[in-house]
């Protein structure tokens, strides 16, 4: 908490010129500015609430599934730490325009500033174009985290809707959807990814779309399974008896109750997507310059692993840290949401 | 049981053919073809036309599709455009390499994953549990090619050149250059030495996932009544865990076996590249870039069959392990 | 000329290893030792025993230098194998020429033709026929003598359209009718030709193929014949031993190689390994599992140089990188704009940054060591942003709305995209550097990546030509001929990328190829290189200085523009280091 305060204040002091110029600047600067203000407000609000809570005596309210889960989640220090790490990374990604010491796309002198080892000016060194690695890692966070988030949102949305429809409708529609799922799952995904990305011009949108559109069968199966077991439960039967419309039943009652496993799957999925994008980068199919994802940076820097290890090691560590955090947080969430696993 | 297997096999035939068809038309959408990759002013346009004729690329796509399909149903995969050999010959040379690597990686991954998962479940929420989780997920979170390169730098380059460790492993290839002149014992040794780094880097990623499943399913099992009964009978903890709990805890992990099988045929391309392992992943990926349709199609076909077989194996194993399930 | 596409002794011991052995012993898999014929195509099962039988009657040479295995590592497979009739990739043709097969002639250190399989050759007085006289002591590895019929076979298959011989342009000045080639006796063969300066060059690049083995194969099926990569039977200094797809090729000494040509090679065995990852290649060189790392990346040189037992060698090569411009585009139609692009690019710095200085700024496709190279263009079009800006002003490209990008009178911005192929780090780097360097001049460059096959389709298909600029490279033969690139006749042919039509260049390109005498040709070459500066269809970047990482135990490796394998017969390893 203190560290966060420190970081926000440091931005205000050390980068005041950028902060002041931000509201009239490029969109990412405006986003960063808004984030900065919001973060400060949230922090203030949070502290006030905390103060109050300490003074107020706790009144026991009805404890729902989510607050139970939250209490269970808080018990696991590892999971909480991981969740905080993830949030810090997202915050850093949003605040990048204020944090990055250099412009990630500007090349320094190709003769004198090329592949410098980490130093005070360049804490993580410079790359083969004399660009500052720290700035690139920070800017890369935006790309990698966005890829993970958007691709998973796409696949989870499709998966949830299809799974719910399939499980609720049953019969022909169900078996049709499930055959389709079988087919997509059996599809050699890598062949598909490479073929599409190679044959069309590779761009970040294409990569996100392709990853998202090939990842939905797993959540579909997951949600369908949940729906099948929920369908026979009392509250749905009651809803049916009340004559609620099917759409309303599915949207308002079925889907919200399947969310727990979907959220867990999504958390884990973001991590997997970031690693998958790194793998594509290795084949030269990742996000293309000058925007660089962490995966691209690791892959492009790997030929210099022996000469200039910092070029690919730091973005690599960033991947490991974020993906690890997503996974730990996801595991914690799973344990917290599954009453059978609570110890 | 046999009827069930037969039914599943029959049902998956349209699936496999459907996938092959989609891939075929997807590839035919690609700009350029195998002949146009021979670029050089020494190659006249007439020669390119002739190459296309020799490869059968001058035909419209539906004709090529039916030709390919009917040839394939007769067991003829055609001739590779980029390697100038019958595809079947190439697959026969490459497939065993992939099988060796996958088998080792599987063995390592399941052994390690199951052991770690059980240990974590037994020590739930204690330091052992969470630190094993973190360590396992650490490897799981690494881009696999990066992990592979690190292993090479540490256990091959570093171990030999920098630190002079007593053991170090070869960084690439399946065998040493002197392999043909070794005694059988040395040959085995040589092969194993070359397998260590690639199979470990594949297995590390898989093992983390397996351990996670194993932990979850063991936790469920341990809470069940018959385990409590076994404990109350005064059986030793070891025997409770390994004799009673493990058998039931393994059931969900077995489905993973089927799920991971296809991964080992396509997910290995990065590992194969880094360790210069001549396997199917590299073959197919190279072929896509070279517009070598016959090889891509054959690879896809084998892959789709692997998925079907994987799922089938999972179902059958499920039935064998869990007596409650009967396929009639 | 072809487009460049860049694409042990492992002691394992110690107790900890035992445990792993146990764990992995099931993984070892048993494959039978030695060479099994089973599984090989019928053709191979038939011919390989004959090779064995023939060669086993020769005694292996003995002497201080004889013995040992050399291992060469490269990034790519040899997809065309040892089949010279379908071959178009560099490594394959190197192995055909110097390792497994033989060419009629080869080049000496000064790139002058000298006898190899052909003992002598002569042109008749009108230079209308070319007669080769073959050596009588060369035999195929199965014992059959190499004869004039093999030459006849190779030539007639190479000109047969059914074969689709990739380098058909080799034979532009050879007659191709049914009686174009005539066997005079078993060692003499005569070809009908039209006068030309470099008539012999194709015979340096095309290895002779065995008629007695492949004569019955229909030409259209030569490409997929098992001869190429399953069991080639050559006549060169090394005999094919084994090929494992995507992994390695191995060759052993040919003990019957003629003494008159230097006799059998020193090495017992030579292995070509395919390792598709550069860091792995470097590791294998550093851990001494490779003796020779072909063409390491410039950024890997410090590690090679600092290793005591390794040495870094460099040599001038016959390839160059360039940015090809599409003058059909309004932005690039004016030669002054193309000159400004070259002047505004600090190519000297690009050589330093991309190649670590291993290269020389180019202004034409003629390499610096070539006899036709003209010193006068060496320093032309040096980095000069002021002059570039002046040229752009002159051509009417001025920043009219002060947005930092120049516009022409119609308000069209000077925005140019530069394409490069997926996965090629150096070309990506070049496009990015040019973007950064040309931006202050008011030129908006957009680097754009395209997958290789797609890129070729976009630039080579005359009615597509979907590019402004493209970063690419050429590998040339010794015979230089830019006709396909720059002649007006070629504008609508695949390689007429630039679309420039210049009568002066046309005239030079037409005459250059017919002048037989070098002294006479030199002034023309000089004029040609000057003219290219004005037309600027390309921004030539640099001639590549090729690199080689060598283990010092491998002795007497000659490296020059002829290629890495040129004197493999003479490589040797001191006895104590084998």
Q: What angle do CA A276, A158, A241 make, to 5 degrees?
A: 145
Question: Number of structural domains, chain B?
Answer: 1
- The answer to whether A201 contacts chain C (CB < 8 Å) is yes
Q: Look at the alpha carbons of C328, C331, C333, C335 in this order and tell me if their dihedral is positive or negative.
A: negative
Rounded CA-CA distance C447/A105 in Å is 13
Rounded CA-CA distance C92/B73 in Å is 34
- Name the residue in chain A with its Cα closest to that of B20: A187
- Residues in A closer than 8 angstroms to C306, CB to CB, are none
- Residues in C closer than 8 angstroms to B169, CB to CB, are 10, 12
Backbone dihedral angles phi then psi of residue A284, each to the nearest 5 degrees: 85, 15
- The answer to whether B224 contacts chain C (CB < 8 Å) is no
What's the first-to-final CA gap in chain C, in angstroms? 38
- What is the DSSP code string of C548-565? EEEETTSB----BTTBTT
Q: Do residue A279 and residue B219 have CB atoms under 8 angstroms apart?
A: no
Residues C344-398: tens digit of each pLDDT: 999 999 999 889 999 999 999 999 999 899 998 998 999 999 999 999 999 999 9
- Name the residue in chain A with its Cα closest to that of C296: A303
Domain annotation covers residue A183: yes
Report percent pLDDT > 90 for chain C: 73
Rounded CA-CA distance C319/C363 in Å is 13
- Name the residue in chain C with its Cα closest to that of A283: C423
Residues of chain B with pLDDT under 50: none
How many CB contacts within 8 angstroms connect chain A with chain C? 65
Interface of A with C in 285-324 (CB under 8 A): 285, 288-290, 300, 302-308
Q: Do residue A303 and residue C297 have CB atoms under 8 angstroms apart?
A: yes
Domain annotation covers residue B133: yes
Contact in structure between A195 and B30 (CB atoms under 8 Å)? yes
Which distant-in-sequence residues (6+ apart) come within 8 Å of B20 by Cβ? B69, B72, B297, B300, B301, B304
Rounded alpha-carbon distances, angstroms, from residue A68 to A62, A71, A336: 10, 5, 8
Domain end residue (candidates: A26, A42, A62):
A62
B137, B146, B281 member nearest A298 (Cβ): B146
CATH of the domain at B105: 1.10.3720.10
Contact in structure between A85 and A321 (CB atoms under 8 Å)? yes
Chains that touch B (3 or more CB pairs under 8 A): A, C
Following CA atoms C407, C412, C413, C419 in sequence, which dihedral angle do they give, to the nearest 10 degrees? -140
Rounded CA-CA distance B279/B270 in Å is 11
Q: Which domain holds residue A15?
A: 1-62
Rounded CA-CA distance B119/B210 in Å is 13
Q: Does A303 share its domain with A170? A: yes
Contact in structure between B177 and C8 (CB atoms under 8 Å)? yes
- Structure-block tokens of residue A315: 């973005």
Rounded CA-CA distance B258/A178 in Å is 18
Q: Do residue C349 and residue A305 have CB atoms under 8 angstroms apart?
A: no
Rounded CA-CA distance B93/B105 in Å is 20
Rounded CA-CA distance B244/B254 in Å is 17
Rounded alpha-carbon distances, angstroms, from residue A108 to A113, A127, A291, B268: 6, 10, 17, 38
Domain annotation covers residue B245: yes
- Name the residue in chain A with its Cα closest to that of C430: A129
Rounded to the nearest integer, the mean pLDDT of chain C is 89
Q: Do residue C299 and residue A308 have CB atoms under 8 angstroms apart?
A: yes
Domain annotation covers residue A116: no
Distance from CA of C3 to the nearest CA of B (A): 6
Rounded alpha-carbon distances, angstroms, from residue C278 to A117, A270, B288, C283, C427: 22, 30, 21, 9, 17
- The answer to whether B176 contacts chain C (CB < 8 Å) is yes
Q: What is the largest CA-CA distance in chain C?
A: 84
Q: Does A293 share its domain with A164? A: yes
Name the residue with tokens 């004005």.
C534
Rounded CA-CA distance A144/C537 in Å is 40
- The answer to whether C280 contacts chain A (CB < 8 Å) is no
Backbone dihedral angles phi then psi of residue B79, each to the nearest 5 degrees: -120, 135
**pLDDT surpasses 50 at C13:** no
Rounded CA-CA distance C286/C489 in Å is 51
Q: Do residue C299 and residue A300 have CB atoms under 8 angstroms apart?
A: no
What radius of gyration do chain A's Cα atoms show?
A: 23
3-state SS record for C494-505: CCCCCCCCCHHH
**pLDDT surpasses 50 at C6:** no
B108, B156, B166 member nearest C287 (Cβ): B156
Residues C196-241: tens digit of each pLDDT: 778 898 999 999 999 999 999 999 899 889 999 899 999 999 999 9
Rounded CA-CA distance C176/B91 in Å is 39
Domain annotation covers residue A158: yes
Q: Do residue A189 and residue B266 have CB atoms under 8 angstroms apart?
A: yes
**pLDDT surpasses 80 at C519:** yes
**pLDDT surpasses 80 at C268:** yes
Residue A1 pLDDT = 66
**Helical segments of C477-550, H only:** 483-486, 503-512, 518-535
pLDDT mean over C269-282: 95
CATH of the domain at A297: 1.10.3720.10
Residues C33-48: tens digit of each pLDDT: 345 677 788 999 999 9
- Residues in C closer than 8 angstroms to A303, CB to CB, are 278-279, 297, 299-300, 425
Question: Number of structural domains, chain A?
Answer: 2
- Residues in C closer than 8 angstroms to B289, CB to CB, are 451-453
**pLDDT surpasses 90 at C527:** yes
**Helical segments of chain A, H only:** 2-14, 16-21, 27-55, 65-75, 77-99, 133-169, 171-186, 189-199, 204-214, 217-231, 234-241, 246-248, 255-282, 294-301, 310-337
Q: Which residues of B114-144 are buried (b: 16+ CB within 10 A; e: fewer)?
A: bebbbbbbbebeeeebbebbeebbbbbbbbb
Q: At what angle do helices A255-282 and A217-231 cross, to 10 degrees?
A: 170
Rounded alpha-carbon distances, angstroms, from residue B84 to A57, B80, C210, C228, C245: 81, 6, 18, 8, 12
- Residues in A closer than 8 angstroms to B18, CB to CB, are 183
Residue B91 pLDDT = 92
Domain annotation covers residue B39: no
Residues A10-68: tens digit of each pLDDT: 777 777 777 777 777 777 788 888 888 888 888 888 778 777 766 654 554 556 667 77
3-state SS record for A108-155: CCCCCCCCCCCCCCCCCCECCCCCEHHHHHHHHHHHHHHHHHHHHHHH
Rounded CA-CA distance C182/C175 in Å is 12
Q: How confident is the model at residue C189 (pLDDT cuts 50, 70, 90)?
A: very high
- Residues in C closer than 8 angstroms to A302, CB to CB, are 279
Domains and CATH numbers, chain C: 16-261 (3.90.76.10), 316-545 (3.10.105.10)
Distance from CA of A289 to the nearest CA of B (A): 20
Domain annotation covers residue B140: yes
Domain annotation covers residue B76: no
- A72 against C114, higher pLDDT: C114
- The answer to whether C224 contacts chain B (CB < 8 Å) is yes
Residues of chain A with pLDDT under 50: 57, 60, 343
**pLDDT surpasses 60 at C311:** yes
- The answer to whether B92 contacts chain A (CB < 8 Å) is no
Residues C137-181: tens digit of each pLDDT: 999 999 999 999 999 999 999 999 888 888 888 888 899 888 899
B143, B296, B307 member nearest A298 (Cβ): B143
Residue B266 pLDDT = 64
Q: Does A209 share its domain with A298? A: yes
- The answer to whether A204 contacts chain C (CB < 8 Å) is no
Q: Do residue A111 and residue C352 have CB atoms under 8 angstroms apart?
A: yes
Q: Do residue B134 and residue A185 have CB atoms under 8 angstroms apart?
A: no
Domain annotation covers residue B66: no
Domain annotation covers residue B27: no
Rounded CA-CA distance A65/A257 in Å is 10
- The answer to whether A253 contacts chain B (CB < 8 Å) is no
C27, C162, C224 member nearest B195 (Cβ): C27
Domain annotation covers residue A93: no
- Residues in A closer than 8 angstroms to B23, CB to CB, are 188, 191-192, 195
pTM of the model: 0.89
Q: Do residue A129 and residue C352 have CB atoms under 8 angstroms apart?
A: no
- Name the residue in chain B with its Cα closest to that of C451: B289
Q: Which domain holds residue B226?
A: 91-321
Q: At what angle do helices B144-152 and B184-222 cross, to 10 degrees?
A: 130
- Residues in A closer than 8 angstroms to B273, CB to CB, are 282
- The answer to whether C35 contacts chain B (CB < 8 Å) is yes
**pLDDT surpasses 60 at C569:** yes
- The answer to whether C169 contacts chain B (CB < 8 Å) is yes
Domain end residue (candidates: A30, A62, A94):
A62
Interface of C with B in 373-432 (CB under 8 A): none
C280, C296, C423, C471: best mutation site toward chain A, by most A Cβ within 10 Å?
C423
Following CA atoms C342, C347, C350, C355 in sequence, which dihedral angle do they give, to the nearest 10 degrees? 120
What number is the ipTM of this complex? 0.89
Q: Do residue A199 and residue C299 have CB atoms under 8 angstroms apart?
A: no
- Name the residue in chain C with its Cα closest to that of A284: C423
| Report for B265-269, C2-6, C124-128, C223-227: range of highest mean pLDDT | C223-227
Q: Is the peptide bond before A290 cis (omega within 30 degrees of 0)?
A: yes
- Residues in C closer than 8 angstroms to B51, CB to CB, are 164
- The answer to whether B104 contacts chain C (CB < 8 Å) is yes
Domain annotation covers residue A106: no
Domain annotation covers residue B236: yes
- Residues in B closer than 8 angstroms to C45, CB to CB, are none
Q: At what angle do helices B87-122 and C16-24 cross, to 10 degrees?
A: 120
Report percent pLDDT > 70 for chain C: 94
Domain end residue (candidates: A62, A94, A110):
A62
Domain annotation covers residue A256: yes
Residue C252 pLDDT = 96
Domain annotation covers residue A127: no
Q: Do residue B270 and residue A279 have CB atoms under 8 angstroms apart?
A: yes
């Amino acid at each position: 908490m203190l560290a966060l305060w420190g970081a926000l204040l440091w931005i205000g002091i050390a980068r005041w010129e950028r902060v002041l110029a931000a509201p009239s600047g490029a969109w990412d600067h405006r986003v960063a500015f808004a984030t900065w203000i919001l973060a400060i407000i949230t922090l203030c609000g949070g502290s006030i609430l905390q103060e109050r809570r300490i003074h107020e005596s706790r009144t026991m309210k009805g404890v729902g599934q989510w607050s139970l889960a939250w209490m269970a989640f808080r018990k696991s220090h590892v999971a909480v730490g991981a969740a905080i790490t993830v949030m810090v990374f997202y915050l850093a990604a949003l605040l990048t325009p204020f944090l990055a010491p250099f412009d990630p796309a500007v090349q320094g002198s190709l003769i004198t500033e090329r592949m410098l080892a980490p130093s005070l000016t360049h804490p993580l060194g410079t790359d083969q174009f004399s660009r500052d690695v720290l700035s690139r890692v920070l800017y890369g966070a935006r790309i990698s985290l966005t890829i993970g988030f958007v691709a998973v949102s796409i696949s989870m949305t499709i998966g949830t809707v299809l799974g719910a429809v399939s499980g609720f409708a049953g019969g022909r529609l169900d078996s049709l959807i499930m055959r389709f799922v079988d087919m997509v799952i059996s599809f050699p995904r890598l062949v598909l990814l490479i073929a599409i990305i190679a044959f069309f011009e590779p761009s970040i949108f294409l990569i996100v779309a392709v990853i998202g559109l090939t990842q939905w069968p797993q959540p579909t199966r997951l949600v369908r399974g949940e729906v099948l077991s929920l369908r026979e439960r009392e509250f749905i039967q009651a809803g049916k008896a009340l004559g609620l419309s099917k759409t309303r039943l599915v949207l308002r009652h079925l889907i919200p109750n399947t969310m727990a496993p979907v959220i867990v799957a999504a958390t884990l999925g973001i991590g997997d997507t970031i690693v998958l994008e790194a793998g594509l980068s290795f084949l030269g199919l990742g996000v293309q310059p000058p925007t660089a994802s962490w995966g691209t940076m690791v892959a492009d820097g790997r030929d210099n692993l022996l000469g200039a290890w910092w070029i690919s090691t730091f973005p690599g560590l960033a991947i490991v840290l974020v993906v690890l955090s997503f996974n730990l947080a996801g595991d914690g969430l799973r344990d917290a949401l599954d009453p059978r696993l609570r110890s | 049981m046999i009827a069930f297997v037969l039914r599943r096999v029959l049902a998956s035939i349209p699936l496999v053919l459907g996938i092959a068809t989609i891939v075929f038309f997807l590839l035919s959408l690609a700009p350029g073809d195998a002949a146009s990759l021979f670029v050089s002013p020494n190659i006249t346009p007439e020669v390119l036309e002739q190459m296309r004729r020799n490869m059968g690329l001058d035909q419209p796509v539906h004709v090529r599709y039916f030709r390919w399909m009917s040839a394939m149903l007769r067991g003829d995969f055609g001739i590779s455009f980029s390697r100038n050999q019958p595809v079947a010959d190439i697959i026969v040379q490459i497939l065993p390499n992939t099988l060796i690597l996958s088998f080792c990686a599987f063995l390592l991954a399941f052994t390690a994953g199951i052991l770690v998962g059980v240990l974590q479940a037994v020590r739930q929420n204690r330091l052992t549990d969470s630190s094993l989780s973190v360590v396992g997920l650490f490897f799981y979170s690494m881009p696999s090619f990066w992990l592979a390169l690190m292993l090479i730098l540490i256990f091959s380059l570093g171990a030999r050149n920098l630190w002079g460790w007593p053991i170090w492993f070869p960084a690439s290839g399946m065998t040493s250059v002197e392999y043909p002149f070794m005694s059988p014992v040395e040959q085995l040794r040589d092969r194993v030495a070359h397998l260590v780094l690639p199979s470990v880097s594949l297995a590390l990623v898989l093992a983390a996932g397996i351990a996670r499943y194993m932990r979850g399913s063991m936790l469920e099992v341990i809470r069940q009544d018959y385990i409590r009964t076994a404990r109350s009978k005064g059986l030793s903890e070891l025997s409770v865990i390994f004799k009673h709990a493990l058998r039931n805890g393994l059931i969900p992990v077995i489905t993973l076996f089927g799920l991971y099988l296809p991964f080992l045929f396509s997910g290995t391309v990065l590992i194969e590249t880094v360790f210069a392992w001549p396997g199917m992943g590299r073959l197919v990926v190279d072929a896509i870039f070279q517009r070598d349709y016959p090889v891509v199609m054959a690879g896809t076909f084998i892959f789709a069959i692997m998925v079907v077989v994987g799922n089938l194996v999972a179902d059958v194993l499920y039935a064998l392990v869990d007596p409650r399930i009967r396929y009639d | 000329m072809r487009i460049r596409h860049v694409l042990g002794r492992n002691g394992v011991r110690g107790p900890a290893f035992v445990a792993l052995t146990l764990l992995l012993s099931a993984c070892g898999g048993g494959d039978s030792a030695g060479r099994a014929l089973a599984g090989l195509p019928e053709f191979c099962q038939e011919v390989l025993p004959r090779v064995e039988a023939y060669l086993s009657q020769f005694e292996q040479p003995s002497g201080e230098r004889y013995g040992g295995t050399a291992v060469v590592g490269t990034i790519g497979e040899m997809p065309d194998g040892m089949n010279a009739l379908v071959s178009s990739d560099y490594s394959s043709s190197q192995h055909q020429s110097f390792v497994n097969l033989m060419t009629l002639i080869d080049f000496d250190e000064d790139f002058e033709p000298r006898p190899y399989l052909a003992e002598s050759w002569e042109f008749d007085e009108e230079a209308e026929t070319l007669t080769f006289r073959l050596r009588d002591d060369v035999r195929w590895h199965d014992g059959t003598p190499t004869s004039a019929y093999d030459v006849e076979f190779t030539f007639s298959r190479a000109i047969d359209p059914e074969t689709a011989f990739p380098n058909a342009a080799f034979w532009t000045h050879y007659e191709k009718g049914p009686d174009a080639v005539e066997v005079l006796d078993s060692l003499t063969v005569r070809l009908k030709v039209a006068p030309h300066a470099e008539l012999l060059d194709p015979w340096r690049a095309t290895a002779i193929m065995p008629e007695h083995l492949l004569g019955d194969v229909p030409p259209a099926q030569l490409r997929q014949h098992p001869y190429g990569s399953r069991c080639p039977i050559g006549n060169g200094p090394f005999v094919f031993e084994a090929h494992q797809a995507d992994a390695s090729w191995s060759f052993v000494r040919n003990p019957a190689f003629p003494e008159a040509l230097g006799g059998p090679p020193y090495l017992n065995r030579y292995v070509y390994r395919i390792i598709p990852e550069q860091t792995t290649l470097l590791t294998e060189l550093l851990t001494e599992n490779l003796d020779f790392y072909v063409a390491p990346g410039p950024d890997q040189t410090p590690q090679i140089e600092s290793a005591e037992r390794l040495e870094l060698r460099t040599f001038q090569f016959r390839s160059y990188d360039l940015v090809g411009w599409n003058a059909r585009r309004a932005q690039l139609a004016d030669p002054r704009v193309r000159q400004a692009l070259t002047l505004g690019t600090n190519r000297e710095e690009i050589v330093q940054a991309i190649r670590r200085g291993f290269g020389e700024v180019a202004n034409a496709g003629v390499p610096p060591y070539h006899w036709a190279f003209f010193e006068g263009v060496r320093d032309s079009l040096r980095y000069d942003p002021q002059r570039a800006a002046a040229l752009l002003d002159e051509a009417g490209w001025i920043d009219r709305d002060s947005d930092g990008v120049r516009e022409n009178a119609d308000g069209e911005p000077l925005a140019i995209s530069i394409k490069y192929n997926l996965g090629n780090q150096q070309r990506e780097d070049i496009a990015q550097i040019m973007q950064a360097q040309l931006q202050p001049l008011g030129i908006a460059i957009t680097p754009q990546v395209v997958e290789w096959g797609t890129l070729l389709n976009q630039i080579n298909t005359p009615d597509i030509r979907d590019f402004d600029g493209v970063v690419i490279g050429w590998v040339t033969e010794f015979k230089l001929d830019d006709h396909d690139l720059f002649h007006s006749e070629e504008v609508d042919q695949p390689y007429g990328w630039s679309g420039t039509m210049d009568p002066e260049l046309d005239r030079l390109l037409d005459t250059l190829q017919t002048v037989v005498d070098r002294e006479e040709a030199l002034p023309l070459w000089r004029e040609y290189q000057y003219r290219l500066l004005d037309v600027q269809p390309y921004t030539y970047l640099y001639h590549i200085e090729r690199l080689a990482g060598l283990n010092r135990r491998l002795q007497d490796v000659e490296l020059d523009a002829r290629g890495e394998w040129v004197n493999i017969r003479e490589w040797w390893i001191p006895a104590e280091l084998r």
